[in-house]
Structure 1
Amino acid sequence: MGFSMIAGAAFRALTARKDGPSLYDVCDPVLLKYRGGDPHLGKFYRTALGNPALRPLLRRTGHPALRDEKRLGALREALVRARDDAEPDWAAVGQPIAELMADIDVRHPSPPHVKAPPQAPAAAEIDRVIRRCGAHLLGSFSKNGFLPTYAAFNLIGDADMGGREMLMALTGLNSRGYKNSTLLFSLARIFIAHSPARALINPPWQGIAEPMWEPVQIRHRSAYYDAFFTEALLSYLETGLASKEETAVSRRAIDEMVDFCLKTSAEEVPSHDGSTVRVITALAPLPHPRFSRFFAQIKQDLGFGIYVPDCDTTACSFSAATQAGSTDPILDQPLLDFYRGYQVREGANEPRVTVPLNDNIDYEGGVVTWIDNIKGERPYGNDLDPTLNLDILEVSFRNLKRWKILETPQRLETVHRIIGFQRRLAESGAFADPRSHIYYLPELYSAYFGRCHAAFMALPDAARRAIDPDGAFEFIRGKVLDYVEGELITREMNPFDAALALMALAHLGADVSTFAPALNCIVAQFGEGGRHGPYRAYEWNKMKTPTRILVGGPEVTSAFVLMGLALARRVMKKT
C-alpha cells in the first residue's frame, strides 16, 4: 500500500459523514470512567480502542442500526453487565454484538491464477538466496543475542470469526481478561468494517500469507520460535554453503536455542496419572521473552499476563533438540503418555475442546493445544489444531526407539488415533479449508505434513508398517500434493507461500518441474524486505481470538525460504 493510498484512506476516515452512533458514542459513557466493577474492561478499552491513534480514525464512523435507541440501549446494557456482574452471562452479554457482526464481510484471500514460468531459475541464483538468508539469520542472532519474532494486530479480525464463533470464545475461554478483550475487539470490528479506515487497517495483499504491517509489531522470543530457527540453521549447515565462520556461529546459536527451549522455557506440570512432567511453555517468564518495557506493560494492560505451556511448543522443542543431537534428560520423557491425557475420545472427553471454532472437523483422536500449568490455570480454555497434531507425530517418529513406542501398546494406539484424525481431514478435504485451522494456514499444514512425512519415511519398513498399516500416510500425501500442485502454485504467491509450497513439494516427492513457480517467486522478490532483510514479514501463525494477531517476522521469512530452497536444491541435485 503506497503513501498516496495510505493518505487517501486516512483522509476519508477523518472526514467521513457520520451515520449513527460511533464506537466511542457507545462505549465512552459506560467504559471511559467508572468506579467498581471489573477495572480491566475499562483499562482495555482505553488502551486498545480509545487510544489517540485509533480514536481519530473511527470517531466519525457510525453504525446506522444503532440509531434505534432500543438496540443501542441493549448494547450498552450488555457492556454494563460485562463490567459490573461478578459472573457475567457471557452468551447474553455477547448476543447484541454477535447480531451486529453479521455484515462485517471479511473473507480469506483468493489470489488470481497465473501462468506457470517456463523454467526454474539458475542454481547459482538459488545458492545466492540461501546464503543471503543464512547470513540474515546469523547477523540478527549476533546483533540481538537471539532470533526475534514479531506479533502484530489486525483489528478487522479473522474471516472465520463471526458472531457465532465470538460467542463460542466468550463462553469457552477461562480468563475474564481474555473474554473482555474478545468482546471489545469484536465490537470494534463492526465499526472498522463500516469505516473508510478499513482500507488502512486491512489493505489487500499478494498471495495467501498476510504481510505484517510494520508500525505495529511487538518483538518477542519463544521456545516455539527457537525450535523452528534451530531447524532452519541445521538446514543451512546441511547445504554446505555456510562459511567456516558462519558454521561456528550457527553451532553456537543452535546450542543456545536448544538450551533456551529445554531449560529456560521448561516447567513442571501435572500429568493425568498423578505424576508430573516437564514441558515447554509458550512464553518463559520475564525477562526471557525480550519484550520492550513499553510492550511488556501493554501486554499486561491488555490482559495477556498469564501464559501456559502448550503441546505444540513442547513437541517442536523436543524435535529440534533431538535433531541437534541433544542428550538432555528431559528428552527421555515419553511425551505420548502425557499427550494421551489431552487426546480427544469421542463421547468421553470431547468437552475438553471448550473453544470449538473449527467444529467443521471431527476431533476424535486429536490432541488439544493448551496444557494446565502447575496451578491448574487454563486461561484460553482449549482448542484443537490439525498442524499441532502433525508436530506430535513428527517428534514421536524421531524418538520412536527412545520412547519404545512400538513396544508399548498404549503409545502406539495414541499414534494410530492421531493418524486416524489426520486421515479423516484428508478424506473430507477439510485440511484445505482455512476454517479447519486455529493457528495456521492450510499452506503451512501442507508444508508441515511434508516435514512429518519425511520423518515417517526415515523409519525402517517394519516400523512404518506397524505405525501405518492401512497406508494413511500415502493417502494423505496424495491429497496434499493435489492441493499444492493444483491450487497453491497455480495462483499468485508471495515468497512465504512459495517457501511453504517448496517444503511440501520437495518432502513429498513431487516432480522437480513443479518447483519452478515457487522458485521463481522467491528469486524474483528477493530484496523486498529492504533494510530489514531479504524478505518482508508474513503471517506464520495467528491467534483468531481476541482478534486476528499475526506472528512472523523478516527472520521467519528468511528461515522458511532457506529451508524451502535447501530442500528443493537437494532434490534437484539428485535428478
Structure 2
Amino acid sequence: MTPITFVFPANPGSFFNDLQGVARGLGACRPAPGQCPATRYFMSFQYFAGAACRALTARKDGPSLYEVCDPVLAGQAGGDPHLAKFYKTALGNPALRVLLRRAGLPELRDEARLAALRQALARARDEAEPDWAAIGQPVADLLNSIALDHPRPPPAVFVGKAPQQSQIDGVIRDCAQHLLGSYRRNGFLPTYAAFNLIGDPDCRGRELIMALTGLNARGYKNSSLLFNLARVFIARSPARAVVHPPWRGVAEPMWEPVQIRHRSAYYDAFFIEALLSYIETGLALPADKIAAERAIADMVDFCVNISREEVEGIDGARFNVITALAPAPHPRFSRFFAQIKQDLGFGIYVPDCDTTACSISAATQAGCTDEIINQPLLDFYAGYQVRAGVNAPRVTVPLNDHIDYEGGVATWIDNLAGERPYGNDLDPTLNLDILEVSFRNLARWKILETPSRLATVHRIIGFQKRLAASGAFANPRSHIYYLPELYSAYFGRCYAAFLALPLAAQAAIDPDGDFDFIRHRVLSYVKGELMAAEMNVFDAALALIALGHLGADPRAFAPALNVIVDAIGEGGRRGPFRAYEWNKMKTPTRILVGGPEVTSAFVLMGLAVARRAMAGRG
C-alpha cells in the first residue's frame, strides 16, 4: 500500500470524505494470485478505514500537539509572525487536527517538561536571534523516543524467464506516448512534490539540532522545528498507520490527490535523456520522433536559458549555473500552492551543483551549442569541493557525517545576493553527476590538459571509492536526496560516460582502476540486495539502468523486466505506472519528488538500456 502524503489541500476536511478515493488509487497493493482487482480495492479501503477508525477512537494518554502549541501559537502572537502562520497553515488544518486529536504523549503530563517545551516555542517565536540548539533540545529529546526504519522488502521469488521482446517494446512505446501526450497537454512535463509528515528514518534528535543550527533561513528553521515536533505525535499514535502504511519495494509510492505540480531544470534534464533514449531505440514513428525532438529542444532551452543564473565563484570569477527553480511563472505552481510555498517558508531558491551538472549534461547530449556549455565548470566546482582541514565547515548540515566528505562537492550554490537558505550539505549521487558531465565535456573543458581540473576529478573519484570500499553507498543514511538504488543507477550512467572515452583518457582519469572496483561493489548490491527482494516498478527500472550500463549478464535482467511488464496499467488514468519517490529532502520533513511521468521516463530509460544490452550493443 502507498503512504499518505499531506500537502494541506484547499479543503482539508475532504481527507476523510475522500477516503474511498484514496483506496481507489492504491495500485501499489498487489492482489494475491487469482485475486480480482475489486478485492484489492476492498482491502485498500478496509485498511485505511480501519486505521482511521483506530486513530479517531484511541485512548488519549497525555497532552496532544494542539494542547502543547495552541497556547503559544494559535492566538495573536508577537515576535516572528512566520512561526504562528506556519503552525496554523501546516499543522493546524482541520483534517490533521481531527486525525491527531487523541494522539498524546504521557511524558508531557509532567508540568515542568510541558512548560519547557512551550517556552522553547515561545523563544523561537519571540527572540530576534534565537539560540536554536537550546530551543530545539526539548523537541530533539522527544524525537529520540520514536523508531522508524527504512523499507525492508521480503525476499522475492526468482523468475529466470524474461518477457518477450515485443512486450518490452510495447512498454517502451507506452511510456513514450505517455511522456509525449503529457507534454502536448501541459506544455511541459510535470513533476510533483509531496510532504510525508512521518519524516525520514535518518532524522532524529541529533539531526534536528544539525538542521536548526546549520540552515540559514529562519522560515526553514521554523518549519523544521514544528514538523519534527508533529512527527513525535504521529509516530507514537495510531495515526501513524494512516500517515505511513507499508508499501511494496524500496522507492516510496506517492499518494495522488495532494501533490504540488511544478517544473524544474533538474527534471527536464532527465526527461531529455528519456526522450533521447526513445529515439535511439528506433521504435519511434516519424511523427513521434519529430514531437520528441521538439520537446527536447524546448526543454534544453528551459535548462540553459530560462533557468540560467549568474553566480560568483570562490575566486570571484563569474559563472552561469542552473537554478533549482526558475522565477515565476516558469515553475508552473498553481496560485494556491505558490502562496502555500511562501507561507511554509520556501520562498527563496538558490542554484545547486546537481541541477547545473545534469542540465549541462542533457544539453550536451542533445547537441546544444550554447556558450554555457563551454564553461569549464570544474573550475567552479573546485570551490565547493571539500578538502579536509581546509574548508570542511562548508558542509553546515552534515546529516550524513558518518561518511568522509574529503573530495566531495557540496550541494547548494550561493546566489549573487549571498543567500544560502539551506545552509549546505553533501550528497554522493550529486558527485556522480559532476563526474558524468565532466566526462561528456572532457575535451571541451581541457580537463586532461589542465592539472587543477584533473585533480578535482581525481578527488571526486577518491570520494566515491571510499564510499564503495566501506559499503556506505548502500546505506540510506549516506544519501541526502536519493536512495542507494538510485545511486547505483546513476553510477551506471556515469560509468557508461567513462567507457565512452578513449582508452588513454580513461587511464589518465582512473590510473588505479577505481571505477572497476566501484562497479563490482555496485553490481553486488543491485543483484544481491535490491533484486533479491520484492521490487516495485521504480526499483526495477533503476536496477536495469545499473545492470545494463555496468555490463551485467543480460540473463540477470529477467526479474526486473518481469516486474515492469507485470505492472503495466497500475497508473490508471494518470499513465502506465504509478508515481514513486525519485528524490527527496530530509528537512524540514520528508518531502518526496516524483510523478507518473517520472516513472515512465525511468522505465523507458531502463528498458532502452536493457534492450541495447540484450542485443549485444551494450
Please classify the TM superposition score into its range, dividing by the shorter chain length. Answer: over 0.9
Equivalent position to 2:533, from 491, 494, 513: 491
1:269 corresponds to which letter in structure 2? V
SS of match in other structure, 2:542: helix
User: For residue 79 of structure 2, what is the aligned residue in structure 1?
Assistant: 37
Q: Identify which of 318, 322, 325 aligns with 1:280.
A: 322
3-state SS of paired residue (2:581)? coil
What's the secondary structure of 2:159's corresponding residue? Answer: coil
> Which amino acid counterpart does residue 333 of structure 1 have in structure 2?
Q
For residue 147 of structure 1, give the secondary structure of its aligned residue in structure 2.
coil
- Asked if residue 412 in structure 1 is aligned to residue 454 in structure 2, the reply is yes
Q: Does 1:424 align with 2:482?
A: no
Residue among 49, 54, 57 paired with 2:91: 49
Match of 1:402 among 444, 447, 453: 444
1:549-560 mapped onto 2 (5 Å cutoff)? 549-560=591-602
Deviation at 1:281, TM superposition (A): 0.2
- Alignment of structure 1 residues 143-158 onto 2, 5 Å: 143-158=185-200
The alignment status of 1:572 with 2:610, answered yes or no, reads no
Report how far residue 207 of structure 1 moved: 0.1
Tell me what 2:22 maps to: none
SS of 2:194 mapped into structure 1: strand
> Would you say 1:225 and 2:229 are equivalent positions?
no
The residue aligned with 2:301 is 259
C-alpha distance in 2 between matches for 1:40 and 1:12: 33
Deviation at 1:17, TM superposition (A): 1.6
Deviation at 1:11, TM superposition (A): 1.6
2:249 maps to which of 207, 212, 229 = 207
In the other structure, the counterpart of 1:472 is 514
Structure 1 residue aligned with 2:573: 531
- Shift, 1:461, TM fit: 0.4
Equivalent-residue separation in structure 1 for 2:417 and 2:446 (angstroms): 31
1:391 aligns with 2:441: no
For 2:170, the equivalent position in structure 1 comes to 128
Aligned to 2:492: 450
Q: CA deviation at 1:243?
A: 1.0
* Residue number in structure 1 paired with 2:140: 98
In 2, Cα distance between equivalents of 1:92 and 1:216: 35
Q: Return the alpha-carbon distance in structure 2 between the equivalents of residues 43 and 4 of structure 1.
A: 36
CA distance in 1, matches of 2:542, 2:525: 12
1:112 to 122, 135, 154: 154
Counterpart for residue 481 of structure 1? 523
Residues of 2 paired with 1:118 and 1:62: CA distance?
A: 50
- Secondary structure of 1:371's counterpart equals coil
In structure 2, distance between residues paired with 1:52 and 1:488: 40
Deviation at 1:196, TM superposition (A): 1.4
Note if 1:245 corresponds to 2:245: no
CA offset digits 1:292-323 (Å, max 9, x no partner): 00000000000000000000000000000000
Post-superposition CA distance 1:510-533 (Å, at most 9, x none)? 011110110000001111000000
Matches within 5 A, 1:333-344: 333-344=375-386
CA distance in 2, matches of 1:341, 1:482: 34
Deviations 1:168-187 (A, max 9, x none): 00000000000000000000
SS in 1 for 2:615: helix
2:338 matched residue in structure 1: 296
**1:503 deviation in Å?**
0.3
Residue matched to 2:205: 163
- 1:60 and 2:102 matched: yes
Shift of 1:118: 2.7
Instruction: Report SS of the residue matched to 2:144.
Output: helix
After TM superposition, give the deviation of residue 215 of structure 1 in Å.
1.9
Question: Cα distance, 1:34 vs. partner?
Answer: 2.8
Q: Using the TM superposition, give the Cα deviation of residue 4 of structure 1 relative to its aligned residue in structure 2, in angstroms.
A: 1.5
CA distance in 2, matches of 1:32, 1:288: 35
Structure 2, unmatched stretches of 5+, are 2-43
Q: TM-score normalized by structure 2?
A: 0.92
User: Sequence identity, in percent?
Assistant: 76
Partner residue, 1:190: 232
The CA deviation string for residues 477-531 of structure 1, in whole angstroms up to 9 with x for no partner, is 0000011111111100000000000000000000111101100000011110000
Match of residue 79 from structure 1: 121
Provide the C-alpha distance between the structure 1 equivalents of 2:369 and 2:587, rounded to a whole number of angstroms: 37
Q: Look up the match of 2:396.
A: 354
Cα separation, 2, equivalents of 1:137 and 1:299: 27
What's 2:180 paired with?
138
Pick from 413, 417, 430: which aligns with 1:375? 417
Instruction: Please state how far the C-alpha of 1:200 moved relative to its aligned partner.
Output: 1.1
Deviations 1:251-293 (A, max 9, x none): 0000000000000000111111212111000000110000000
1:79-103 CA-partner distances (Å, limit 9, x unpaired): 0110001011000001001111122
How many Å apart are 1:552 and its aligned residue? 0.2
**1:193 CA displacement:** 0.7
> Is the Cα–Cα contact under 8 Å of residues 300 and 362 in structure 2 kept in the other structure?
yes
- Compute the displacement of 1:468 (Å): 0.5
Deviations 1:516-568 (A, max 9, x none): 11000000111100000000000000000000000000000000000000000
Shift of 1:325: 0.1
- What is the DSSP-based 3-state SS (H/G/I as helix, E as strand, rest coil) of the residue aligned with 2:584? strand
Instruction: Give the conservation status (yes or no) of the 8 Å contact 2:77–2:84.
Output: no
Structure 1 position 52, deviation (Å) = 1.3
Equivalent residue for 1:500?
542
Which position in structure 2 is the counterpart of 1:541? 583
Give 3-state SS (helix, strand or coil) of 2:95's partner: coil
Q: Which of 46, 66, 76 in structure 2 is aligned with 1:24?
A: 66
8 Å Cα contact 2:160-2:555 kept in structure 1: no
* Corresponding letter in the other structure for 1:310: D
Structure 1 unaligned residues grouped into runs of 5+: none
Equivalent in the alignment of 2:15:
none
User: What is the RMSD computed on CA atoms of the aligned residues?
Assistant: 0.7
Q: Alpha-carbon deviation of 1:33?
A: 1.4
Residue-pair matches, total: 575
2: CA distance, partners of 1:355 / 1:386: 14
The answer to whether structure 1 residue 320 and structure 2 residue 320 are counterparts is no
Q: Is the 8 A contact 2:212 2:224 kept in 1?
A: yes
Partner of 2:319, secondary structure, is: strand
Q: Distance in 2 between matches of 1:33 and 1:414?
A: 54
Normalising by the residue count of structure 1, what TM-score does the alignment of the two structures yield?
0.99
Following the alignment from structure 1 to structure 2, what is the Cα–Cα distance between the partners of residues 134 and 39? 47
User: Greater shift after overlay, 190-199 or 369-378?
Assistant: 190-199
Partner of 2:221: 179
Which residue type is aligned with residue 92 of structure 2?
Answer: G
Letter in 2 for 1:210: E
Match of 1:516 among 548, 558, 573: 558
